[in-house]
A and B are shown apart, each in its own frame.
Chain A
Amino acid sequence: MDNGRDGDAMLAFTLNGEPAEGAPPEGASLLHLLRGSLGLSGPRFGCGEEQCGACMVLLDGRPGYACTLPAEAAAGRAVTTVEGLGTPEAPHPLQAAFLAEQAGQCGFCLSGILISAAALLQANPDPDEAAIRAALEPHLCRCGSHNRILRAVQRAASMMRAAP
């Protein structure tokens, strides 16, 4: 079955490495599903129009806007949210680096930014500042933490290169 799911039929996929399923209402976005019955809070609603990046998740390792992706798009695929990157006990190098650089103010944009940064470092372990800015261009930060965020991504990249 590709996208043709009946009404509230069960939808199965991999979420942060674990099997997950949901029965979202018709027309629900992936963001609705993740924040709704699956109980996540990392992916955030910011605009619903792919203009701010607050909802960014990885779909089979590639960044995607959960706010406009239909929930069905996850069927049979692997979805990673910021909760799947790491935990306080075992943080992803990016999460450790964001804390080390104190890279954030209100923090609402950080879930999405961390996701795009993770995809960048996966593809390019040694990005220069221009490459990081380009990867984060889909994301809005209103508090003005951009430079700290750029430094944190660079710090994470060196951490990952030092301990692959």
Chain B
Amino acid sequence: MNLAYVQATSGDGDKPRLPGSLHVNRRLDQWLRIHAEGLVTITPGKVELGQGILTALAQIAAEELDIAFARVRVQAAATPASPNEAVTSGSLSVQESGMALRHACAEARAIHLSVAAQRSGVKLEAIRVEDGSFLGPEGPIGSYWAQADDALLACEASPGSRAKPPAARRIAGSAAPRLDLPDKVFGAARFIQDLRLPGMLHARMVRPPARRARFTALRDGALPGDARVVRDGSFLAVLASEEAIAEAAAARVTARAEWDAEDTLPESAEAWLRSAPGEDSVVVDRTEAAPEAAATLHARFFRPFVAHASIGTCCAVARWEGDQLEVWSHSQGIYNLRADLAKALRVPETQILVRHIEGAGCYGHNGADDVALDAALAARAAPGLPVRLLWSRAEELGWAPFSSAMLVEIEAETDAAGDIVAWRQQVTSQGHSSRPGRNPKPTLLAVEHVADASEIPAAINPPLASGGGAQRNAVPAYRIPRLQVGLRRITAMPVRSSALRGLGAPTNVLAIESVMDELAAKAGADPLAYRLRHLDDARGQAVLRAAAELAGWETRAKREGIGMGIGYARYKNSGGWCAVVAEVAAEAEIVCRHLWIAGDVGEAINPDGIANQYEGGAIHGVSMALKEEVRFDRRRVTSDTWEAYPILRFSEVPAVEFRLLARPEEPPLGAGEAALAPTIAAIANAIHDALGVRPHRMPFTAANLAAEMDAAGGG
């Protein structure tokens, strides 16, 4: 959950509304500092996840201050000084952090110009800013650098826009190169995994053989080198001076540890969703006048649990100095992590400092927060020393939260002309957010293992007003007179679930867009034309037409074993628009060969970064559609290697063409999650086009499609 959620659920209504996160972090000096040596440091609370956000934020700052892009430095977030921007999630960082910085920098510029005007006697309107220098009609009259004084910005932002009009922007809107990429191509120490502190020890976890297991004994035996065991109840770790020793020790202790293990995982994800206890709610229920229904279509779609599957394994460094804890983390929300660390460790938040350092891409709430508590617990055994805890690949794929399995059932009624008159959609899922910092009880993995254990509360779904969880994109974007959408949230959580890119959107959009294709076929209409005639949103129509044009949709020819399909969604129905045409080939497995994508995110701060995010999200969608499924037995997740949890490889990646529709006058929206769900839907529709079989079950493997064919043949 993100700032939108915080604002939607807290009544901060007394002060005048300020843009984005500035509303709840109102001081200008929380956001930027001007240095006499000709640099500006911006201090956003949002964090780099590989999405390029720091570059986009630096562009916004440079633009409003009228300074060269190269003068901007971005300071990574840390408690307690950084603005609390809750979580970097939901494709909201440009709206929340970007708009705060735009406003704050524009106001900083105005403050500096009024000082310059006062000192020089030149009228405010006559002053121009050129790369930070202030120029009057007669020449230079000062600069940010000459006037640099922290006191000038030690004030709250004020309402009223001073930001540049869209047409005046030069840096925001350009394809500025990523600030972080040089470090990454030269192998510099930039990631949390690369952090080396003096005296640092290395720790590894010793995981139990089951999701629920109680430590009973450790059989005697030698440990390598200087390794030692750290235990708190059933939390078991090893510490050593070198990584190799810690890994060897973890292997030995794993072999010697004895546990009482329980069967707690369900027989299958689908059976679990059908039978588990749940809580029902109405997402939308509206009835307008409509023609009589002539035909009804039923369909049911299933997606299994899927994993974040980061390339880097989760890591944290923790150090206790007395009762003060310092943690280095790649968490998406450092303040929320601090809140749960405080609850779990029973120390006040004021005694904990959390510093953000980049990790590998996380794509949502993976184990980044969990490993921070693991490190803090392990570090208790080494007071005064930094302890680096790195998860194994098996922990990354087996112990981090997953995106919940989902069932989506749709019943659609059409009139005699084939147009939609009624639509009932029922979504069944565990919750999609178990992020720290939101519940009175901590949600970090180790709280269930320590001696003073507590149960992690079942994941929740944020309200639809802040994007929703399982119900994200469950409300079709199309014109439907009678619409009912219901949600059943499973209230138990044997397989831990939390936020993953798109949350409920991939399954909901798959279901909606598959049904739209079925309805189009029944109406004898082209899938594109059928969508357009049910869609009132002009920007939605525009991306659909653009993707179709890129793909040559209108002139496509039917080819044996090849299919083309289209998918559309506006992310969260409030974010970026996206339409995708996919081409697939039915070989031994389905191969996605080509994607044509059109997007609209309003003002594009960095068009190249947006292209990168749309394409990355789409390729993630191809992987999720064709390959990904978390597997488990009654005790543990068994898909805990890359062989057991395959993701898309180079040989399988489609060619991608992307067109961004320019809307410089419109508010900017995030790009990271817009393409994933429509891509999955487009692939499903392309499979139907190629094979005549409708995929209802992800992933669309040959085995799952064969089962669909059997069911269709037998039904």
Contacts and interface: CB of A to CB of B under 8 A. Distances in A.
A148 B189 CA distance: 23
A10 interface: no
Interface in A106-164: 106-111, 114, 133-134, 136-137, 139-148, 150
A141 B48 CA distance: 17
Contacts of A42: 186-187
Interface string B129-143: 000000000000000
Contact of A44 (B180, B193, B615, B617): B193
Given A25-B224, A105-B612, A98 B191 contact: no
B393 A107 contact: no
Nearest to A106: B50
Interface in B487-515: none
Contacts of A98: 181, 185
Interface in A74-123: 81-83, 86-88, 91, 95, 98-99, 102, 104-111, 114
A82 B181 CA distance: 14
Interface string B348-369: 0000000000111101000000
Interface string B286-298: 0000000000000
Interface in B151-193: 175, 177-178, 180-191, 193
Interface of A, secondary structure class, is loop
B361 A106 contact: yes
Contacts of B182: 88, 99
Contacts of A44: 191, 193, 312
A142 B243 contact: no
A17 interface: no
Interface string A38-73: 011111111111011010000000000000000000
A143 B50 contact: yes
B628 to A, nearest CB: 11
A52 B653 contact: no
Given A102-B612, A141-B311, A48 B392 contact: yes
Contacts of B650: 133, 136-137, 139, 141, 146, 150
Interface residues of B, number: 62
B331 interface: no
A83 B187 CA distance: 6
A87 B191 CA distance: 18
A98 B612 CA distance: 13
A99 to B, nearest CB: 6
A45 B186 CA distance: 16
Contacts of B619: 144, 146
Contact of A111 (B187, B242, B244, B248): B187
Contacts of A147: 615, 653, 655-656
B225 interface: yes
Interface residues of A, number: 58
B393 A47 contact: yes
A107 B309 contact: no
Interface string B111-143: 000000000000000000000000000000000
B443 interface: no
A13 B415 CA distance: 77
Nearest to B360: A108
Given A36-B242, A95-B186, A147-B656, A46 B311 contact: yes
B440 to A, nearest CB: 33
Interface stretch (B76-84, B211-219, B579-587, B641-649): B641-649
A46 B191 CA distance: 13
Question: In this complex, which of A39, A46, A108 has the most chain B Cβ atoms within 10 angstroms of its Cβ?
Answer: A108
Given A48-B393, A137-B650, A36 B243 contact: yes
A137 B618 contact: no
B393 A86 contact: no
A44 B248 CA distance: 19
A137 B649 contact: yes
A51 B396 CA distance: 14
B390 interface: yes
B178 A142 contact: no
B404 interface: no
A95 B178 CA distance: 14
B651 A27 contact: no
A60 to B, nearest CB: 20
B641 A49 contact: yes
Given A24-B244, A25-B224, A105-B50, A142 B185 contact: no
A140 B243 CA distance: 24
A145 B616 contact: yes
A35 B243 contact: yes
A88 B361 contact: no
Given A47-B393, A54-B311, A88-B186, A102 B242 contact: no
B187 A82 contact: yes
A144 B616 contact: yes
Given A25-B242, A28-B244, A144 B641 contact: no
A144 to B, nearest CB: 3
A81 B189 CA distance: 13
A66 B570 CA distance: 44
Question: Nearest 8 A-B pairs (CB), nearest first?
Answer: A42-B187, A106-B50, A107-B184, A144-B619, A144-B616, A106-B361, A108-B360, A28-B244
Given A45-B313, A144-B615, 19 more contacts: A25-B244, A41-B188, A46-B312, A46-B393, A47-B393, A47-B642, A81-B187, A99-B182, A102-B177, A102-B178, A102-B181, A104-B181, A105-B361, A106-B49, A106-B359, A107-B50, A107-B190, A140-B311, A142-B647
21 contacts: A25-B224, A28-B242, A43-B187, A46-B311, A49-B393, A52-B642, A82-B187, A95-B186, A102-B175, A102-B608, A105-B52, A106-B311, A107-B50, A108-B359, A108-B360, A134-B651, A141-B650, A142-B363, A144-B617, A144-B619, A147-B656
Interface of B: 49-52, 175, 177-178, 180-191, 193-194, 196, 224-225, 242-245, 247-248, 309-313, 358-361, 363, 390, 392-393, 608, 612-613, 615-620, 641-643, 647, 649-651, 653, 655-656
Interface of A: 24-29, 32, 35-36, 39-49, 51-52, 54, 81-83, 86-88, 91, 95, 98-99, 102, 104-111, 114, 133-134, 136-137, 139-148, 150
